Structure 1
Amino acid sequence: MAVVKVPQSGKVVLKVQTGVNATGNPVFRLRTFANVKSGAADSDVFAVAEGLGSLQQHTLVDIIRQDVNNLINQ
């Protein structure tokens, strides 16, 4: 039997640095954008995320893509 991955949906998460805490360590916040098409190319998602990051008040630190898949036993 083979297990097949069936893409469903996804989201992109922008990690931004909002400042530093009392001890000088960076403070991060996550900005999540849902309903990313599972078939979207990584380069396209990255380009859009960079564009959204440039609109943020805080510094963009990381771009994370999270995909949701169903696993089916065939």
Structure 2
Amino acid sequence: MAVVKVPQSVKLVLKVQTGVNASGDPVYRSRTFANVKAAATDSDIFAVAEGLASLQKNSLVDIVRQDLNNLVNQ
């Protein structure tokens, strides 16, 4: 029997730099967008992330795709 990965949900996380602390180190915050279609391609998610980042006043540092899958033994 083979184990199959069944996509459940996807989240898009934008990591932005919101400023610096007293020591001069950067301060980061994450903006999470849930309910992304599991079938969305990485390039589509990246394009949406860039569009959302352009609406932010803070600088974009990182784009993360978080996948949640079920493993099923078939």
TM-score range normalised by the length of the shorter chain: over 0.9
Aligned partner of 2:73 in structure 1 is 73
- In structure 1, distance between residues paired with 2:22 and 2:4: 49
Aligned partner of 2:14 in structure 1 is 14
User: How high is the TM-score relative to the length of structure 1?
Assistant: 0.96
Query: What is the aligned length?
Result: 74
Which ranges in structure 1 are unaligned for 5 or more consecutive residues?
A: none
SS in 2 for 1:40: coil
Report the CA distance between 1:73 and its aligned residue: 1.3
- In structure 1, distance between residues paired with 2:4 and 2:35: 22
Report the CA distance between 1:2 and its aligned residue: 1.5
Runs of 4+ with >2 A deviation? none
Which ranges in structure 2 are unaligned for 5 or more consecutive residues?
A: none
Aligned partner of 1:59 in structure 2 is 59
SS in 2 for 1:22: coil
User: How high is the TM-score relative to the length of structure 2?
Assistant: 0.96
Q: How does 1:29-40 map to 2 (within 5 A)?
A: 29-40=29-40
Aligned partner of 2:3 in structure 1 is 3
SS in 1 for 2:9: strand
Report the CA distance between 1:11 and its aligned residue: 0.6
Identity %: 77
Letter in 1 for 2:13: V
